[in-house]
Amino acid sequence: MAGSADVVFAGGGVIGLSAAWLSAEQGLTVRVVDPEPGRGAAWVAGGMLAPVAEATFGEEALVGLFLDAAARWPAFASRLTEATGMETGFQECGTVAVALDASDRAEIDQLLDFRRELGLDTSRLSASECRSLVPGLSPAIRGGALMPGEQQVDNRAVVLALIEACARAGVDLVAERVASVSLGRDGAADGVLTEGGTLIPAGTVVLAAGAETPRIGGVPAGVIPPVRPVKGHMLRLRATGTGTAAGTAAGTAAGTAAGTGQAFEHIVRGLVHGHHSYLVPRADGSVVLGATAEERGYETTVRAGAVHMLLDDARLLLPGIDEWELLECIAGLRPGSPDNAPFVGPTSVPHLVLATGHYRNGFLLTPITAQAVAAYLTTGTVPPPLDAFPADRHLSAAPPAGT
Ligand SMILES: Cc1cc2nc3c(=O)[nH]c(=O)nc-3n(C[C@H](O)[C@H](O)[C@H](O)COP(=O)(O)OP(=O)(O)OC[C@H]3O[C@@H](n4cnc5c(N)ncnc54)[C@H](O)[C@@H]3O)c2cc1C
């Protein structure tokens, strides 16, 4: 491995890869050290770019960041495709939220009010309007809401394109696991040490290992904020057989995605007796069904109970799902932060930078984070709006590294 790079990223998930790509495009020499780039939470995710549907009441401060992030996606997706010739699955497909009982309906009405306060296009839907937008919905649905303009990407297509974009921009991808950050005599970060014992020197180290970030050694206590793993189960299905929206006359009449190969046109967010679930239709005919949110530490075993719960809720929304092909059951770890906002920017250790804590919104926040990291590495300043979320907030609550 030749010489010291300007910057080394410990972790090449959607955040590390995108920031590495844009940094290399700014003329920096960049290495990404990751045993399996793109195979963390990014591989599991739903790929929804949902600035408000994912925010809850009390998170108003975050919504400005999320809206700004969403607005950057169309240009970012085009730039990624131009750089690689690869598709990202970016679509402005809109979301239909549906309620199964009266209290679910009331919760969706609250979301409608919140969106209207923000000036976002939203309309209340009757049960039959929901069913005409999403053929196959259960007759038990109590109504819902249409949120046009909500976007999605194909999460796996995005990380594969980012790996290609990094390669084309000259980023050196090193397939090793980082054991620790190397600190020089002056206490500044000067590279990373891999589990294989290799020192990879660099002018700046960016910790971008998602939920695993606090487990990277060598960093003094009190420097890394409390990032925790929040497990999410996800299923992938293919809408085939009877009772699905794909290819039905109803789908065609309703102007849905029938005939395009996509099972239905909109993302469907369901509230099922207080449980949140979602179905994201992909262009290839598959449908992503998610997701659980579990505090179980660092383990990604697929549990039968979680799969059962996801399917149970989904079949109350779309009874025809019983006939669908079950393609995959998988679980991943979201990098959770105490206030659901990411940690992007410098730490108290010179030349040690964080890009983690993106929790449920790592894809949504990819362009804005990548641009902020590249800007920080080239100018020394984290640009707005991410500068309002400094990486050293919440430090008093940080657990010791490695727990
Ligand atoms: C079930 C589920 C559904 C989700 N749905 C959505 C969604 O719809 N929309 C959305 O915006 N977000 C969603 N997310 C969240 C999103 O996936 C994450 O926020 C995002 O992946 C975080 O990106 P990251 O690069 O920080 O972490 P990751 O994607 O987890 O990547 C971390 C990388 O670090 C590497 N790594 C770990 N330890 C080391 C080490 N010691 N040395 C080197 N490399 C290391 C891993 O191999 C991995 O490649 C979802 C997540 C889950 C689990």
| Domain boundaries along the sequence of the chain | 5-44+157-225+338-396, 95-148+229-336
d(CA 166, CA 401): 30
> How many Å apart are CA 396 and CA 403, to the nearest integer?
16
What confidence score (pLDDT) does residue 364 get? 98
pLDDT at 26 over 90: yes
Q: What is the pLDDT of residue 60?
A: 73
**Ligand 1 lined by 51 (C-beta under 6 Å):** no
Q: Is the dihedral of CA 298, 38, 16, 171 positive or negative?
A: positive
Give the number of other CB atoms < 10 A from CB of residue 116: 12
Q: Whose CA is nearest to atom 52 of ligand 1?
A: 45
Which residues make Cβ contacts (< 8 Å) with residue 319, sequence separation at least 6? 136, 138, 243
Which option is the CATH number for 95-148+229-336: 2.60.40.1220, 3.40.50.880, 3.30.9.10, 3.40.720.10? 3.30.9.10
For residue 357 and ligand 1, the question of a CB distance below 6 A is answered with no
CA distance from start to end of the chain: 32
Rounded to whole angstroms, the Cα distance separating 13 from 155 reads 11
φ, ψ at 372 (rounded to 5°) = -70, -40
What is the model's pTM? 0.94
Compute the distance between CA of residue 127 and CA of residue 133 in angstroms, rounded to an integer.
Answer: 10
pLDDT per residue as tens digits for the range 196-225: 999 999 999 999 999 999 999 999 999 999
pLDDT average, residue stretch 295-312: 97
281 pocket-lining for ligand 1 (C-beta < 6 Å): no
For ligand 1, the distance from its centroid to the CA atom of residue 12, given in whole angstroms, is 9
Cβ atoms of 52 and 113 within 8 Å: the answer is no
Nearest ligand 1 atom, CA 280: 8
Residue range 249-275: mean pLDDT, rounded:
70
Task: Please tell me the CATH superfamily of domain 5-44+157-225+338-396, with its number.
Answer: FAD/NAD(P)-binding domain (3.50.50.60)
For residue 285 and ligand 1, the question of a CB distance below 6 A is answered with: no
What the block records as the tokens of 385 is: 């709006």
* 341 Cβ inside 6 Å of ligand 1: no
pLDDT above 70 covers a percentage of the chain that reads 91
Structural tokens at position 274: 């207080």
